[in-house]
Chains A and B, each alone.
Chain A
Amino acid sequence: MTQNIRLAACALLLGAWATSASAQGDAKRGEYLAKAGGCLGCHTEDKKDATPFAGGRALKTPFGTFFGPNITPHPQAGIGKWAEADFVRAMRHGRRPDGANYFPAFPYPSFTKIDDRDLGDLWAYLRTLAPSSRASQPHDLGFPFGWRFLVTVWKWFFFTPGPYLPAPGVADIINRGAYLVQALGHCGECHTPRNFLGGPKRSRFLAGGKSPEGKDVPNLTPTRLKKWRDVDFKDFLVTGVNSDGDVPAEAMGEVIRNTTSQLTPEDLAALIAYLRSLPPLPE
């Protein structure tokens, strides 16, 4: 354990050195960011022994079913032919290398807030993955939602590109938490309710409600969170069981396994501090 921490510290130091020495991203740091971003969930098939990041997860929405694509560096099946600029365009602007829009099932309205350095490190990490030849399948969308140009209109309403800017006069820990929740963690993609166009209801930011599938999604603002002590909430986000031994719905169970349980104690504390700082919104 101590050795791991030491190794991680070395990696961080090396990473800092590498970034200052050249513009190359730091893959080790990127690996952590990929966990904080929960990339694995949508980009890995939901079956035993599925190849990580080779795509195939189905995301059912009222507009149709989306399939997470292969993001390993395979030249045909994955994103092996991409340049770093293509990756940045996808994450920051929601556009494919050919300029067409991604559907916002790919949560670029959140990922646009990831800063330049983290994007570079994420890209460096993705390049280290073993190329998988698993072919990405096309989305299965209802009429007329398959028309990508409609997304232009959607973006006009609901998409503001640009990295997260730390709020002035706010503690660093809160800003770090906000960055983890809003940018990488893309928590609002499920925990903020959506209107009939699939756009987030900003006045209900992180206040939970009904998911597109009609499932209840918990309110993350202090209205509900005040019932949790920090220690219990932290344990829940690490172990996947609350203090009563209760297990959350698997949609969150997976997020706990892939993301929150993998965060450093400092990042987990920041995440909680930020949620506690939100305005309490009624259920």
Chain B
Amino acid sequence: MNSKLLYSCLAVVLGTGAGYATSVLAQAKPDVLVKQRQAVMTLQGKYFGPLGAMASGKAPYNAAVVQRNAGFLDNLSRMPWDGFNPNTKNEKTAALPAVYNDRAKFDETASRLENEISRLVTVSRSGDEAAVKAQITAIGKVCGACHNDFRAKK
């Protein structure tokens, strides 16, 4: 089988998969979507918190914990976004209307977070403590940038 054909088949299969996922999602109740995305945020906090403490020198640096948490965060950081479905607009949450009114910017910030966390996964394997700490700070900035624009004060 030539590779072009293989890729086309793959694309069709994946495309169908994605379509399936979205159609399932469209049926999820808004309050459930909110609960799910908040759960992801909570877990991101669980695994990012210790890294923030290490980056600022508050907690001793532990390369193994950084590597493990970076791996967790790599998956978690891709999970919240489809929970910000427009059908959740009227739920009582800290998400500001800007999430839906300025979707391009929201999506851009979301993918920036994913990228910065992928980079942490790479850097955390290098054993370069200073670079890891700088990357953790970079992630914190993206978290904060999104909270600045898209989250109400708690």
Q: Does A pair with B?
A: yes
On A, residues with C-beta under 8 Å from B are: 208, 215-218, 235, 238-254, 257, 261
Asked whether, in the complex, the Cβ of A215 is within 8 Å of the Cβ of B137, the reply is no
**Of listed A215, A217, A240, A261, residue having the most chain B CB within 10 A:** A240
Interface string of B39-53 (1 = CB under 8 A from A): 000101111111011
CA distance A248 to B147 in the complex (A): 7
- B56 within 8 A of partner (CB): yes
The closest CB in chain B to the CB of A257 belongs to: B137
Binds A, one of B4-12, B22-30, B114-122, B138-146: B138-146
**CB proximity of B50 to chain A, nearest CB, Å:** 8
Chain A residues with CB under 8 Å of B42's CB are 244
Which of B46, B56, B145 interacts with A261 by CB under 8 Å?
B56
Contact of A253 with B141 at beta-carbon distance under 8 Å, contacts A216-B153, A238-B58 already known: yes
Q: Is the CB of A247 within 8 A of B143?
A: yes
Q: How far is the CA of A242 from the CA of B145 in the complex (A)?
A: 16
Q: Which residues of A contact B137 (CB under 8 A)?
A: 257
Q: How far is the CB of B78 from chain A (nearest CB, A)?
A: 18
7 A–B contacts, CB within 8 A, in A order? A215-B148, A215-B153, A216-B153, A235-B53, A239-B52, A239-B53, A245-B48
The one of B44, B55, B140 in contact with A253, judged by C-beta atoms closer than 8 angstroms, is: B140
Task: Name the B residues within 8 Å of A215 (CB-CB).
Answer: 148, 153
Residue among B47, B55, B147, B152 with max Cβ neighbours from chain A (10 Å): B147
- Partner of B45 from A218, A245, A261 at Cβ < 8 Å: A245
Pick the contact of A249 from B49, B52, B147 — CB < 8 Å? B147
Q: Give the complex CA separation of A241 and B56 in angstroms.
A: 10
A185 nearest CB across to chain B (Å): 19
Chain B residues near A249 (CB-CB < 8 A): 144, 147-148, 151
Alpha-carbon distance between A248 and B48 when the two chains are bound, in angstroms: 13
B52 with A250: CB separation less than 8 A:
no
What distance in Å separates the Cβ of A155 from its nearest Cβ neighbour in chain B? 30
A residues in contact with B144, CB < 8 Å: 240, 247-254
Distance between B66 CB and nearest chain A CB, rounded to angstroms: 14
Residues of A within 8 A of B45 (CB): 241, 244-247
* Contact flag A241-B52 (CB < 8 Å), given A247-B140, A247-B144, A249-B147: yes
Query: Is the Cβ of B148 less than 8 Å from the Cβ of A247?
Result: no
Q: A239-B58, A251-B144 are in contact. List 20 more A-B contacts (CB 8 A).
A: A238-B58, A240-B52, A240-B144, A241-B45, A242-B49, A244-B42, A244-B49, A245-B44, A245-B50, A245-B52, A247-B48, A247-B52, A247-B143, A247-B144, A249-B148, A249-B151, A250-B145, A250-B147, A253-B141, A257-B137
Contact A216 to B47, CB < 8 A, known contacts A240-B52, A250-B144: no
CA–CA, A245 and B148, complex, Å: 16
Whole-angstrom CA separation of A217 from B152 in the bound complex: 9
Nearest chain-B residue to A243 (Cβ)? Answer: B49
Complex CA gap A208/B49 in Å reads 26
Q: Are A241 and B49 in contact (CB under 8 A)?
A: yes
* A215, A240, A243, A245, most chain B CB atoms within 10 A: A245
Chain A hits for B58, CB < 8 A: 235, 238-239
Which residues does chain B contribute within 8 Å of A261, judged by CB atoms? 56
Q: Which residue of B lies closest to A209 (CB)?
A: B153
Contacts of B44 in A (CB 8 A): 245
Q: Is the CB of A239 within 8 A of B56?
A: yes
Interface centre among B44, B49, B55, B152 (most CB of A within 10 A): B49
Nearest Cβ in chain A — how far from B40, in angstroms? 12
Q: Which 6 A-B pairs have CB atoms at the shortest separation, nearest pair first?
A: A245-B49, A245-B45, A250-B144, A216-B153, A241-B52, A253-B144
